[in-house]
């Protein structure tokens, strides 16, 4: 296995462990402390939100797809990302793939365990409110960001 592949797989494992550990610890804490725990008044709180959609609650609600459908899509995406990983020689892309895969697998585990994804980070300023999210969602966003950055700066490096 190439070093770039090992790095990406290490990020998958690190992301997966951080995601599942944070969910386990915070779910237990929030069940005891109450469903909403203010951390920074008017800005950040810990909550219990069961997300039946995809990241940040998209496609959730009454018409949400069954957990097994979302999990199957996530697994198919991970397979595609793994194929992409084996073909890339670009570190930022590989690291992004590792983060996205780790986050996607973390949320698949939630759907298998609970039938929904446990989200706990809740940011708000005044009336503006960001949907609750978790470590897996954060890793997916950062991973996609790394891949986008690499696609922009990588092309500039190759230009004559």
What are the catalytic residues? 119, 137
Q: Name the phi and psi angles at 35, rounded to 5.
A: -70, -20
Strand partners, 36: 47
Determine the Cα angle at 36 with ends 30 and 42, to 5°.
135
Helix ranges (H only) for the chain are: 3-33, 67-87, 91-114, 135-158
Strand partners, 125: 128
Instruction: Please give the order of strands across the beta sheet that includes 36-40.
Output: 36-40, 44-51, 117-125, 128-129
Non-local CB neighbours of 50 within 8 Å, separated by 6+ positions: 114, 116, 117, 118, 119
- Kindly report the number of other CB atoms within 10 A of residue 9's CB atom: 18
């Amino acid at each position: 296995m190439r070093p770039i592949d090992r790095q990406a797989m290490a990020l998958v494992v690190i992301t997966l462990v951080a995601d599942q550990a944070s969910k386990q610890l915070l779910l237990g804490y929030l069940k005891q402390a109450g469903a909403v725990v203010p951390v920074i008044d008017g800005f950040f709180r810990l909550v219990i939100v069961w997300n039946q959609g995809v990241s940040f609650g998209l496609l959730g609600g009454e018409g949400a797809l069954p957990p097994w459908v979302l999990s199957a899509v996530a697994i198919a995406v991970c397979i595609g990302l793994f194929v992409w990983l084996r073909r890339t020689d670009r570190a930022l892309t590989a690291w992004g793939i590792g983060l996205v895969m780790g986050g996607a697998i973390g949320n698949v585990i939630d759907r298998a365990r609970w039938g929904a994804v446990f989200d706990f980070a809740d940011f708000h300023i005044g009336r503006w409110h960001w949907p609750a999210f978790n470590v897996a969602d954060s890793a997916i966003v950062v991973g996609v960001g790394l891949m986008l950055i690499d696609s922009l700066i990588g092309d500039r490096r190759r230009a004559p």
